[in-house]
């Protein structure tokens, strides 16, 4: 795994092609990846909440969340939502 969340975007599966147009404008550009993909443990909740705070001021939050939902991303914080929150969104009636 790369050091920053933004580097991880580019490393992560096939997502990098679609994200290339906007990902470098992400507020997480210089933030360590471990904040967005914390290991299970006592600090995980705090790291996830810190990641969501970064996302809350991100200008590409909509693009980020849309991509995660479209691709069924099951790990990490994307667009300000953790995997459980994204899973709930997929279960909402349309
Ligand atoms: S919404 Fe969050 S994870 Fe997505 S690019 Fe912005 S800061 Fe990074």
Residue 54 in contact with ligand 1 by CB distance below 6 A? yes
In ligand 1, the atom with minimum distance to the C-alpha of 64 is 4
> Quick check: pTM over 0.95?
no
**pLDDT tens digit sequence for 23-64:** 889 999 999 988 999 888 879 999 999 999 999 999 999 999
Residue 55 in contact with ligand 1 by CB distance below 6 A? yes
The CA distances from residue 68 to 14, 29, 40, 41, 74, in Å, are 12, 17, 21, 24, 8
Query: Which residue range forms the structural domain that includes residue 59?
Result: 5-90
Q: What is the pLDDT of residue 12?
A: 61
Report d(CA 15, CA 13) in Å as an integer.
6
Domain count, the chain: 1
Residue 37 in contact with ligand 1 by CB distance below 6 A? no
DSSP string spanning 2-29? Answer: -SBHHHHHHHSTTTHHHHTTTGGGSTTT
């Amino acid at each position: 795994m790369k050091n920053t969340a933004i580097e991880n975007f580019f490393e992560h599966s096939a997502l990098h092609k679609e994200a290339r147009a906007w990902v470098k404008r992400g507020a997480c550009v210089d933030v360590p990846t471990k904040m967005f993909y914390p290991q299970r443990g006592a600090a995980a909740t705090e790291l996830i909440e810190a990641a969501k705070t970064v996302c809350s001021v991100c200008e590409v939050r909509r693009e980020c969340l849309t991509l995660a939902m479209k691709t069924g991303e099951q790990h990490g914080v994307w667009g300000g939502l953790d995997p459980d929150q994204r899973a709930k969104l997929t279960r909402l009636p349309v």
